Amino acid sequence: MYKKMLVIGLVLLNGCTTLSSDDDFSNAISSVSQKANYITVEAKGITPIENDSKGGFAIKNVSKVVASFPTKESSTAPDSYIAVELSYFKSNNEYTSVSIKNKQRSITMTAPTDETCSEHCTVTQHFSFPIYENELLSATENGLHYSVNARNNSSQLNFLIPAGYFEAILEEQKQNVATVKNENNVPKQPAVMTSKPVEMAQYWYNEANVEDKQRFAQWAFENRKSISTQLPATSKSLDMLSYWYEKATAEEKTQILTWLLNK
């Protein structure tokens, strides 16, 4: 948290830009998270191409793929899915299912349905549906065609997400799974023993409120070479933090400061 305050010169801005279907998808990935036995690749939202819809049309469609892949042969990963934000005129019936290659599957509502009215009333549904590994693979060649179906088949909206979007996801998966395997092959280093001053500084820092954390971090960095100013002990946490920091050796102070930077 205080790395931003203490290390100057690096600011990361994470945009939430929606991709269009004619993008080159070189920046299609929003995030990659790594767990013990799998990774999850979350792509950015994309506006798919709408083709030959029946009984209505979409005012807005933002679709986002969240794909999980096991990193070990014997492990499993959570189901991959596509999250959709779909807006349409209220005259259409509510959409209740999705079809891929004429095979219907149910949708899961992920947020309450919104309705706004001015000259016309529009409805926005938020839902997700599963996508399977073989569909992810085949979509890298032909893209993914999916249909959103209303009750009683009164309306069907047809969409296409281009192949390049899925190529970016699978390429990210390959790179990250290879990295995880390489990391697993690196011999484990012996655990570093934590000294009492370092252990207690970490403990009292975690007990402190946000304001006290900020005050201690700033004071500790200002006094990283030697204690030249005293930290006012306005709370039990600050009192103990300053006590253990002053007790720490130069090496232990470095460990505490490094730990703070990584918070």
- 12 occurs within a structural domain: no
Asked if 123 and 208 sit in the same domain, the reply is no
Asked if 48 and 159 sit in the same domain, the reply is yes
Q: Which two tokens stand for residue 175?
A: 């790179």
Give the pLDDT confidence of 145-178 residue by residue, as tens digits: 999 999 888 999 999 999 999 999 999 999 887 6
How many structural domains are present in the chain?
A: 2
Give the pLDDT confidence of 34-84 residue by residue, as tens digits: 888 899 999 999 999 999 999 999 999 999 999 999 988 777 899 999 999
Range of the domain at 60: 19-184
Give the pLDDT confidence of 193-249 residue by residue, as tens digits: 678 889 999 989 998 999 999 999 999 999 988 888 999 888 988 999 999 999 999
pTM of the model: 0.62
Question: Strand, coil or helix: what is 130?
Answer: strand
Last residue in a domain, options 159, 184, 209: 184
Asked if 72 and 100 sit in the same domain, the reply is yes
Asked if 153 and 237 sit in the same domain, the reply is no
Q: Is 147 within 8 Å of 98 (Cβ atoms)?
A: yes
- 157 occurs within a structural domain: yes
Give the integer Cα–Cα distance in Å for 214 and 260: 10
Asked if 156 and 210 sit in the same domain, the reply is no
Asked if 122 and 38 sit in the same domain, the reply is yes
Asked if 172 and 211 sit in the same domain, the reply is no
